[in-house]
């Protein structure tokens, strides 16, 4: 089984995990104490707010009180796992921490933008480094102690595939490329006219036999333009309806007329049409093996956390 486990799933953070502080740091803002280590109400509230925003964006309803209770338990679990990692000798690796810190910092254009992001999330550069070390220590502990011996057999992989046929059914899918002349403000008549003239001029070049992909690279306002307009495969319901209707009406190799969507004006080239199918076992066996392996790790982790909770001194203040 692959050793690397996506710790972010366990740590409940998309970009940065949640850190805790020692009990004497913010004694007046206690959400919980875990063997003397404080989980502050500030951290808890911030994590609840982030989780709520994500759930809301995904269209999921949530009970705020239950979410807070669940998040507190998650933070407690994380702290217990970190303490167990240290006991097992899995100390944060300074070099790896600095490399990850640099990777995150490099995602921002300037130092000020990076520091502003840290401030908004309640971090300093040092506290981020500390937390990255915590996550890496837990990840190393999971890989070195928890995942060891939890191999997935090919019999299990094949059995999962055979027992869950609905998971591997794919509806018809298209592979298409497009060229976009973007309209950012549909109330601006001049902008609409300019975009339409641009896409119409490109269409004339396409009709004369110029390379669709080259024209996309040169003229498309979509990020896919750098890839010759390639959008990859998509199914019904994954694109805005006017685009979808036009694409599904094409034959392979055919190029549409000008298609209007809320993004602007498009030319669409159908590259491939993949019929409804059951995904072959060989295409997904690696994914199934990883999934089953992670399920085994998560099950063992739950057992470990329950044991750690029974042995720990945990005080909750909600």
Mean pLDDT of 221-240: 95
Confidence band of 318 (pLDDT split at 50, 70, 90): confident
Rg of the chain over all Cα atoms, to the nearest angstrom = 26
Mean pLDDT of 298-314: 96
Q: Give me the residues paired with residue 40 across strands.
A: 30
Confidence band of 209 (pLDDT split at 50, 70, 90): very high
* Cα separations in angstroms, 28 against 42, 85, 277, 293, 318: 11, 28, 59, 42, 13
What percent of the chain is helix, strand and coil (3-state, nearest 5)? 55, 15, 30
Predicted confidence (pLDDT) per residue in 26-70, tens digit: 455 899 999 999 999 988 998 898 888 888 877 788 888 999 999
**Contact of 275 with 169, CB cutoff 8 Å:** no
Closest CA to 142 of 294, 313, 309: 294
Residue 70 to residue 87: CA distance in whole angstroms: 26
Mean pLDDT of 88-116: 93
**Contact of 225 with 179, CB cutoff 8 Å:** yes
- Which residues lie below 8 Å from residue 56, measured CB to CB, with a gap of 6+? 62
Confidence band of 5 (pLDDT split at 50, 70, 90): very low
pLDDT at 4: 37
- What pTM value is reported for the model? 0.65
CATH 3.10.50.40 assigned to 172-275:
yes
Confidence band of 127 (pLDDT split at 50, 70, 90): confident
Class assignment of domain 7-154+283-316? mainly alpha
Ordered DSSP codes for 69-116: HHHHHHHHHHHHHHHHHHHTT----HHHHHHHHHHHHTTSSSHHHHHH
pLDDT at 89: 95
In the predicted model, is pLDDT for residue 237 greater than 90? yes
Residue 158 to residue 288: CA distance in whole angstroms: 9
Residues of the chain with CATH 1.10.4030.10: 7-154+283-316
- Which residues lie below 8 Å from residue 220, measured CB to CB, with a gap of 6+? 178, 179, 180, 229
Query: Among 33-42, 118-127, 169-178, 231-240, whose mean pLDDT is lowest?
Result: 118-127
Confidence band of 15 (pLDDT split at 50, 70, 90): very low
Residues of the chain with CATH 3.10.50.40: 172-275
Mean pLDDT of 163-167: 96
192: helix, strand or coil: helix
């Amino acid at each position: 089984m692959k050793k690397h486990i996506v710790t972010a799933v366990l740590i409940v953070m998309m970009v940065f995990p949640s850190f805790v502080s020692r009990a004497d740091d913010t004694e007046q803002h206690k959400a919980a104490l875990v063997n003397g280590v404080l989980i502050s109400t500030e951290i808890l509230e911030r994590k609840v707010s982030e989780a709520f925003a994500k759930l809301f964006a995904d269209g999921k309803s949530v009970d705020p009180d239950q979410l807070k209770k669940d998040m507190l338990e998650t933070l407690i679990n994380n702290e217990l796992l970190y303490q167990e990692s240290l006991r097992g000798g899995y100390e944060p690796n300074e070099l790896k921490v600095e490399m990850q810190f640099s990777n995150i910092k490099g995602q921002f254009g300037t130092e000020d933008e990076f520091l502003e992001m840290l401030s908004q999330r309640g971090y300093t550069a040092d506290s981020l480094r500390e937390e990255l070390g915590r996550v890496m220590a837990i990840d190393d502990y999971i890989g070195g102690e928890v995942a060891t011996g939890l191999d997935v057999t090919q019999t299990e992989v094949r059995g999962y595939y055979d027992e869950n046929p609905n998971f591997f059914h794919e509806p018809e899918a298209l592979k298409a490329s497009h060229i976009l002349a973007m309209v950012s403000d549909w109330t601006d008549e001049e902008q609409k006219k300019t975009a339409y003239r641009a896409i119409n001029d490109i269409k004339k070049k396409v009709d004369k036999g110029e390379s669709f992909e080259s024209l996309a690279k040169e003229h498309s306002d979509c990020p896919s333009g750098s890839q010759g307009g390639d959008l990859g495969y998509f199914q019904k319901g994954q694109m805005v309806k006017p685009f979808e209707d036009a694409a599904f009406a094409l034959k392979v190799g055919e190029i549409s007329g000008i298609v209007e969507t809320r993004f602007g004006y498009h030319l669409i080239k159908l590259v491939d049409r993949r019929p409804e199918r059951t995904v072959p076992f060989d295409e997904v066996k690696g994914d199934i093996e990883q999934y089953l392996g992670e399920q085994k790790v998560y099950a063992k982790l739950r057992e470990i956390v329950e044991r750690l909770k029974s042995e720990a001194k945990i005080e909750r203040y909600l």
